[in-house]
Structure formats: C-alpha cells, structure tokens
Amino acid sequence: MDEATVEGSGTTEGTEDSNGAERRYAVVIAGGRSTRFGDSDKAVAPLAGTPMIRRVADRLAGVTDRLVVNCRPDQREAIADALAGYPNPVRYAEDEEPDLGPMAGIRTGLRGVEAWGGPDALAFVAACDMPFLDPGLVSHLFDRAADRDAAVPRLDDEWFQTTHAVYRAGPMADACDAALAEGEGKIIAPLFELDHAVVEEDEALRYADESTFENLNTRKEFEAAAERFG
Ligand SMILES: Nc1nc2c(ncn2[C@@H]2O[C@H](COP(=O)(O)OP(=O)(O)OP(=O)(O)O)[C@@H](O)[C@H]2O)c(=O)[nH]1
Ligand SMILES: [Mg+2]
C-alpha cells in the first residue's frame, strides 16, 4: 500500500460469512489532532469514565461484524488499550501521511475494509467523536446502501453527514483517492462520484434522534455530554 499501512493486506476473504449473510464493517476514523479539544487526544479521552472511541465502537458492536480503526501510528497503542476486550475482531489502518484531513481518514479506513473483506464490502464510517450514534439508524443505512455504493444522511436538505454514512469500500476509497489527487478538499466531492442514496432528515429521524449526529469538539461540549451519560 502506498498511502496506508493496512494489516492483513492480501487476505481478502469476500463479503459472505458462513451463513450467507453479508458481513457488515464499521470504520472509526480517529486521525485528527483534537485542536479544539486541547492538548490531549479526544479519541481516548474518558467520557463519563469510558474512552470516547470505545463508546463509539460499543454503539456499533451489535450491528456490525468487524471494526477497522483509522489513526496515526502514534495513537495506536492508546486506542488499542481503549478497545481491549471489544467483542468483534479489530484491525488498524494507519495513516502513512498524517493530517490529510477526514477524507483521507475515510479513504484509509475503507482500504482496511477492502483488504479484509474485498472491494464490495459495505462499511459504516463514523468519526471518533460521535458517542450518541444510534445503531438503529446504522442498520437502516446498511439497508439503504444494499443496491448502491453509499447511503448518506442529509440534514435540513443541505448537510451531508459523511462521517455517519455507509460506503462500499472499494468505490468510495477510489473516489477519495481521485479527489485527494485533484486537491479536492470538500468531503462531499467523492460521494457525488458514487451511486448513492440520500437519507433525508425526516427518514433518519424515524430511526434515531438528532443526537446520533452530534460530535464533540470542545472540552465544554465533552463535559456537557458526560453529564448525559450520568
Ligand atoms: N486520518 C485522519 N483523520 C482525521 C483528520 N482530521 C480529522 N480527522 C478525523 O475526522 C473526524 C472529524 O474531525 P474533527 O472533529 O475536526 O476532529 P479533529 O480534527 O481531531 O479536531 P480539531 O483539531 O478540533 O478539528 C474525527 O474523527 C477526526 O479524528 C486527519 O487529518 N486524518
Ligand atoms: Mg478537524
């Protein structure tokens, strides 16, 4: 791999498991610098006693079969500690070049999925800072992506939730590579290259409440969220 270190490259197993059901992948991207949060990594910061990335991963454990975490190499040990004992198999897709932005994180995470389950595997991609995400909506997004290459929620007819969306690993990673090569920074650009379902707000909110899209950026938001976990 030229851009990312992905474990298990070359061990593609296909997307079917033994009972014929399609495996569902989760990707959590965590390669950001948490600058609004402060001088520690928000991914592993304890949120009401549990590292935030663990809360995100736990929300996904029942509706996905395998987890790929995208991060920088220097984050990996702390993240692996946070995910110790996770019920599903976990692999890491490390940024070879850091700080290329969330689109590069999505690309690298999906390359990890592709190496594990093949290019047609579907993955729900989440940011590491969305601890309220709703597994019911995640399942629905998988259903909506089944005959497409992506399913992405859109709020208020306008705001695509690209880090709360399902993608087919190979096509989306290729589209991100192309966008990155063109210097295209807008995270929605690769989406428009794909056959994608848009899940409008009213549809999404039949499966979840708004908090599923909430992301925590500042220490203040983090502390307010911690109180909601009691
Ligand atoms: N791999 C990778 N992931 C990123 C990068 N920038 C942001 N992310 C991830 O994208 C998601 C959304 O990013 P932000 O909420 O801006 O997080 P952040 O960049 O760590 O925080 P700020 O520095 O405050 O912007 C988070 O899960 C980040 O970890 C990056 O350069 N590389
Ligand atoms: Mg950022």
d(CA 9, CA 159): 34
53 is in an annotated binding site: no
Cβ pair 42, 128 in contact under 8 A? yes
Give residue 186's pLDDT. Answer: 87
Closest ligand to C-alpha of residue 185 is 1
Asked whether residue 77 is domain-assigned, the answer is: yes
Q: What is the mean predicted confidence (pLDDT) over 100-110? A: 97
Report yes or no on 8 lying in a domain: no
- The minimum-distance atom of ligand 1 relative to the CA of 100 is 31
User: Domain range holding 25?
Assistant: 20-223
State the distance from the centre of ligand 1 to the C-alpha of 178, rounded, in angstroms.
Answer: 20
In whole angstroms, how far apart are CA 17 and each of 14, 69, 73, 134?
Answer: 8, 21, 30, 24
- pLDDT, tens digit, for every residue of 142-188? 999 999 999 999 999 999 999 999 999 999 999 999 999 999 878 89
- Rounded distance from Cα 33 to ligand 2 centre (Å): 7
Is 29 marked within a binding site? yes
Question: Is 124 inside any structural domain?
Answer: yes
Q: At what angle do helices 135-145 and 52-61 cross, to 10 degrees?
A: 60
The number of the ligand nearest the C-alpha atom of 99 reads 1
How far is 223 from 75, CA to CA, in rounded Å?
22
Question: Model confidence at 17, in pLDDT bands (50, 70, 90)?
Answer: low
On whether residue 179 sits in a domain, the answer given is: yes
What's 153's domain CATH number?
3.90.550.10
pLDDT of residue 184: 85
pLDDT tens, 51-84? 999 999 999 999 999 999 999 999 999 999 999 9
In a domain, 2, yes or no: no
Q: Are 72 and 88 in contact (CB under 8 A)?
A: no
Mean predicted confidence (pLDDT) in 9-16: 54
Nearest to 116 by CA among 26, 2, 20: 26
Residue 28, in any domain of the structure: yes
Render pLDDT for 178-217 as a digit per residue (tens, 0 to 9).
999 999 878 899 999 999 999 999 999 999 999 999 999 9
Q: Total domain count for the chain? A: 1
> Given the DSSP bridges, would you call strands 66-71 and 122-127 parallel, antiparallel or unpaired?
unpaired
Q: pLDDT band for position 5 (50/70/90)?
A: low
